[in-house]
Amino acid sequence: MTTAVFFDLDLTLLRYTADFETIFDRAVPDAPDGAYDRYLSVFFDAFEDLAVDPYAVGFEAITGEFDIGDDPEALVARYAEAELAATTVPASAREALVRVADRRPTGILTNGAPAVQRAKLERHDLAGVVDAVVVSNDPAVASRKPDSGVFEAAETALPADDYVYVGDTYDEDVVGARDAGWEAYHVGDDGPGDDPAAVESVAEAAARIFGEDDA
C-alpha cells in the first residue's frame, strides 16, 4: 500500500511577513483611493473563475479605471516580486516536508495562479523536494479546493493507494480532502477545535503520518 501526501502551500508551508494591502502598497506606491479595493475585488473574482493569471486581470482593471502611471505588465511583475519577498518558510516546516518526501510520494496541492505558486516553490527551494505540484488555476487542473476535481488532478499526478492532505483552511482543505476520500490533517485554528484532524504544526502532521503520535 502506497500512501501519497500532499501539502497546501500558503499558510501551511509558507508564512507571510506582510498582508495583501501592504504588498499592494509596495507594488503600487501612492495608488489612488479605491484602487486597492477594486483590485482585490477583481482579483478574487478572476481567481474564483480559475483565471490562469488573476493578478493580470486585477491590474488591467485598475489601470483602466484609475490614473496609475504604469502598465499592467509592470504592475503584475512588481506585485509578484513583492508577494514573493513577503514569504518565508519556517525551518520546522521545511524539515517536516523533507522528512515526508524522503519516505512517501509527496506533492504540493494549492489554490492559486500557477506561475506565482511555482515561483514561491522555486524561491524557497521546495520544488525539487516534492514529486508533484498541482495548482488550481493551471488550465490543465481548472478546479479549486474544496472541489474534488483538484484532488483528482493530484491523484492523476501522483498515483497511490491512499492520500493524505495537510492544510490550514478547514472548509477548503480538510472538508475538500475528505469529500475526495482522502485523510486530512489541519494545521489552522479555524473550524471545529475538536476535529481529530487538528494538529499543532506541519511537524506534528508528519509525526502522525508516520504513526509516531504515541511516541
83 is an interface residue for Mg ion by CB under 5 A: no
Distance of CA 139 to the CA centre of its chain: 16
Stretch that binds Mg ion, among 41-49, 84-92, 147-155, 163-171 (CB under 5 A): 163-171
* 143 within 8 A of 149, measured Cβ to Cβ: yes
Cβ-Cβ contacts under 8 Å for 171 (sequence gap 6 or more): 146, 190, 191
Q: 112 in helix, strand or coil? A: coil
Q: Where are the alpha helices (DSSP H) in 51-145?
A: 54-65, 72-85, 91-103, 114-123
Q: Is 146 in the site for Mg ion (CB under 5 A)?
A: no
Nearer to Mg ion, 12 or 63 (CB): 12
Q: Judged by CB, which is closer to Mg ion: 14, or 209?
A: 14
Q: Per CB under 5 A, which region of 55-63, 119-127, 129-137, 165-173 contacts Mg ion?
A: 165-173
Cβ closest to Mg ion, residue 68 vs residue 108:
108
Task: Please state, in angstroms and rounded to a whole number, the distance separating the CA atoms of residues 15 and 73.
Answer: 26
Nearer to Mg ion, 155 or 168 (CB): 168
Q: List CB contacts of 138: < 8 A, sequence separation 6 or more.
A: 52, 114
By CB under 5 A, name the one of 3, 10, 74, 77 that touches Mg ion: 10
Candidate segments 24-32, 47-55, 149-157, 167-175, binder of Mg ion by CB under 5 A: 167-175
Q: Residues in the site for Mg ion, rule: CB under 5 A?
A: 8, 10-11, 168
